[in-house]
Structure 1
């Protein structure tokens, strides 16, 4: 669209004669600020006004150009950027001047277009809308290009505030509205709207991330090759996505960089350039219509439609907010100060950062594929949405049956509708391996995910400064039950959903019993609408805890009780999906494997999804020998009487054997096994995962040696490319296999658990003796409180492996069966 045409549209009510007939209000009557960066965004915003108002005088320092009007009951100030100006600093300047002139503004909206980040987790399309919402420990906006360069990479610093509580409450209401699309369209399709306003811009084409635009400098992709187009299922309607938006001072126009930055940030939904300048100075919600994919194939075809949809969403948010509540609320400056206070309070209590289902460390964990677990998920969702459902849904199953995958799927679905909190236990996962931070982590998530709870929870923390040192029950009562009980239990009250995965992986059984007791008392002692979706293996102490809960208060479902044909169907779908990806990667998409191969593999899985997942990783890491590896798995059909555990043992044994190349001499094979066995023992008995480099330093080996030793074990371990990311097990069942001599002895890799702990204890003490000294942090005050130490200094002077040794040497000593005596090594300098 030519600039002259756009200018004409923008000036449809700008004649002095017309504007003099408009209503004129006072500065103090305006409570909402709406900020736009581009002319097309300003045009879309003005189309949302139900009534325009006369201009008002501005003080000389304020050179913004405003459009004043009413949206619903709210008198709104719309402001755009000066022509040619963009970026976060300009956004901060515009917002500051607006607040100087319109001192009664309570909060605002930053509305416009953005570049989407399509991923397996988020099916983002052109025309979709992205809304900033706190997630992954962030406030909803991350300034991805602000931080400092460290030896192990770029470290982002600073924290941007969350959107105001009132706006997040309106967003929560919109998320639950199934007729959202109809509501948007009513704002876009009015007869008075310009004809271009509600028209999409033709085909939605997403190119592979590694394929760049063929004609740099041009705005169309007519010469881009169609074979590089990503194949996606058609979708007729747009979707609203909620989560993290990445903000920077440059346009993102490279798909590889886009994906790398998103991965590093734990998964973002879109890129833009202004919001980072607002969040700590002007409380606002950021709404972006997706007009491109933040890659080299940028064009302007979708900008008008995307700007219109974003504006329609923003208007719908305002229509849900009662004007009386907005007018009597705090000003923008007061809200910012309050939010800073809340964030400081929440930052003062310890939490397990890896606990939520969408934590950065869990980014690659899978969810259920479409057309799998259909009946089960339907049952769970009906329980979650039902008015009179039991408080607890316990999903149990043996190792490898897919409990965590179901839990992630449920959490992701419910998160879009207002999931309250989640905690995914992981044995050997550090803070998520025990219950020490269970309640505090839940409380902080509740505060961030449920806006109305934030001030209540923050007050509870501020009034009990030692809350983190109290018992689990005291923490639960003060930080969880007391705040949510304020909402009551009538039908108009919200339902709070908590997802707790792998409770059996919590190391202390007594803590598990306490947690189950707390869940059991949900409806008895406290009037709340809190529901818990719980998964675990059917361990005796958990079964016993569940049995002590009245039957009407819990619903139990056993995964291993699902009909075999249903499970095999789901596993076939999974295998087909994963093996097709391998086929495209190594065999140019040829018809491999066959349908019969997939049926055979599904049968061999014996109902275990972890077998299927391990098999796919094993085949993938075979690269050009993928076909041979597939054949070896097909040749090992389960014999009569073979248990699923036996099948799992077989595939783990196969992976371990394949990690020792056949063309090695016997001497070389034995040497590799002697290197691999203690390494495996250390990995599966660590109390918290370490990176390859940190593990090497702890064990006094070369980092490259560890990488080479593990290079053929990607089927079992998540081995990151980034040097500072932790090495992790794909599934805890491998630990069970390796520590059980009856199961792994034949593979020559069985680990003696006690011996492994003794070895790690010795490594920890050696490292501490070598590394620890007076005034280690070089600040000249050896007794300074830890709270006064900057994180970068702590990390530089106390590397991860030294911190690990200080935290866990005593546990390794105890697990190794050693008795501490006077004059032991631990007492020697």
Structure 2
């Protein structure tokens, strides 16, 4: 009570609660709205018995007083409340007892009073009492409302259930990601928890706050920021003592166990029950009914997540999903659709769910169309991001200076070029500095000047170089494709490099075409017509970058490589004008592909005759 009494701003909360209730419940407005006209009589005036209202009472006995000079209501009074077992109808007796015992007001059989008197204020008074009760309960410390879970260990059956649920350990994935990216520079990223968007997400006063989408272009530090948020939140007391639970998942398109919706839910649930073993009951009952089948069902897993986040569990669940755009498109849509349907404004039960989602991804339109009604923020719009980038560059240059013994001039030049070419991307700085680590001091500036400016150009350069440099090291090439392949747009230059690879051109080409198919699929959506202008332009740019022609030079390079030509004809025959040279270079499987697709492909007349001749020869050879 002392907290409410000392804080004048807190007294305004009752008015806001009442306004929210009346705003969302039209049928209550007439019964519970604050009366605008009322008559106040002197306490000594005896009213007519059994009268339904005061229309016949003596107006000369009215008490006139000025309205309160405050800009908010209801007004909270603080004092002692007397409790009685009889209806208090005599105003003089009431005031005398209150004066003698220093009482603020009386609480008694109000229901009996309402049966006898028609009260103009009854509806508004009831709503006000409920609003004040809600407000008072909202500031009661959580530790007094929630009991710490008693359960701390799993029995054998629960352990078996947990093993069946396991698909990946997000904490290990986080640590592996940190090792690969490197630790963030000191004094960076921690500011994110002080931002209003994060504060709203953690408190979640309205449905918009329960989901926060942080987006950014490749290399702008989304995953590093997600790691930072996870580690800082887990260190807070409310997460340490079990009042809140933080679960997280780091998606990765190159790892099947980390790129599906079911994997995400399994990873989140694994962490939830590990932190709060008392919530295992929600998992165990479903597992007993359906065994491992429930863990392969998105709907089954989602229902378990909802069960753990119901009001009765008295625990707030906070889920951070990083790089959602690296999930396959079907899983991405499935998860986003379910999250928005469950926590969206159209679901009246959303307020009963104690679940919060924070999602990071690239600013793809196919993600925005699900999350448009919730809070979102472009990470690069925070001015602190550029400050963090400068700190990172300073750290990297200091390390390089020690390793390669840079002079002051070289260190200064390297720092300036990094700032100029990075275009706000942390990953560009990391890749460029990795290249510099293998270069002598006198070549550092020259090497850095030769690197393309911006991340997309750098990716293209790295992939193209890798395709040519590692012809006899297939595994290295595949690792580079897996590591960077999801970050750049496929071009004719990449295809040409793959076709010219003398060792594994067919497999490399197949992977590049798979990536291009994913890019094209990601931009196909029947709801295009409803997109905002800005989102539509971004989508059109992405589509344009995801489409290219199979050029004549690519075909000529592939003509004498039967396996490569087979892949091209199998995946892109409709984009190729089939010439006599192509038919002549095709192996038996490619010939069969051409023959089967004859009606769908663009084939010249002489090539068609050549195809028939070769197919006849192929048939005789088979006989």
**Length-normalised TM-score, structure 2:** 0.50
Q: Indicate the structure (1 or 2) with the bigger Cα radius of gyration.
A: 2
The structure whose residues are more often strand, as a share, is 1
**Length-normalised TM-score, structure 1:** 0.38
